[in-house]
Amino acid sequence: MEIKYIGYNFTHREKFGLSRPDGAKSNVFINVKSPAKFVIDGKEISVNPGSIVFIKKGTPHSYEYNQCYGTDDWFHFELSPEEEEIFSLPYDNIISLGDTSLISFFIAKMQYEYYGQNENKKRKINLYFELMWLEIKEKMQAYESLALLEYGDLKANITVEKAGEKCL
C-alpha cells in the first residue's frame, strides 16, 4: 500500500467543490465529516457525516459540501494487485457508518507516519490501513446483522445510498 497524498481533519474553504471528470490518477478514500453531494460515475448521492467512500482510480467523480465549509479526512493511494485481492475494497459506493472517529484516528496516524522520517513508516502505514479496513468491515457487518434481525429475510442495502436523496 502506498500513500500518494493525505489530509487529516481537513477543512475546505467556503463553497468547496472538486470535479474529476476523468477520475483521479490513484485510488481515493474520503471520510466525510460534513453534509455533501457526491457524483460518482454519473450517480448523484447525498452524503451525511459519518460516511466513507473508496473511489477507484479513473472513476469520474465530483463532490461539494452543502455548508459554507466542509471537513473530511482523505488520502490518495495505490494497492498492489495482491493487496487489491486481499482487501477487495467496495469501490465507488458510499458507506454510511455513523461514528467514524476511530477511522479518523487511523488516518491521523497514517498522516503522521507519511510526513515523518521513521524507518518503519511504510510498515506502520500498512498496519494502520489494515486496522482501519477491519474497523470498516466490522461496522458494515454489524449493520448487516442488525438489518437481518429487524427485517428477517430482507437484506438491507447499507453500502450504497440512493441517488438523488437529499441531506438533512
C-alpha cell recorded at residue 1: 500500500
Q: What is the mean pLDDT of residues 90-106?
A: 95
pLDDT score for 146: 58
Q: What is the mean pLDDT of residues 66-74?
A: 89
Residue where the block lists cell 458510499: 94
pLDDT score for 9: 96
pLDDT score for 109: 98
Residues in the chain, overall count: 168
20: left (phi over 0), alpha (psi -120 to 50) or beta: beta
Angle at alpha carbon of residue 161, lines to 127 and 154, rounded to 5°: 95
Span 12-67, pLDDT tens digits: 877 788 999 999 999 999 999 999 999 999 999 999 999 999 999 999 999 998 87
CA distances from 120 to 64, 71, 100, 124, 126 (A): 36, 29, 26, 6, 10
| Secondary structure of residue 44 in the 3-state scheme | strand
Residue 103 has pLDDT above 90, yes or no: yes
Span 145-164, pLDDT tens digits: 655 444 444 433 333 333 33
C-alpha cell recorded at residue 67: 455548508
Span 114-148, pLDDT tens digits: 999 999 999 999 999 999 999 999 998 887 765 54
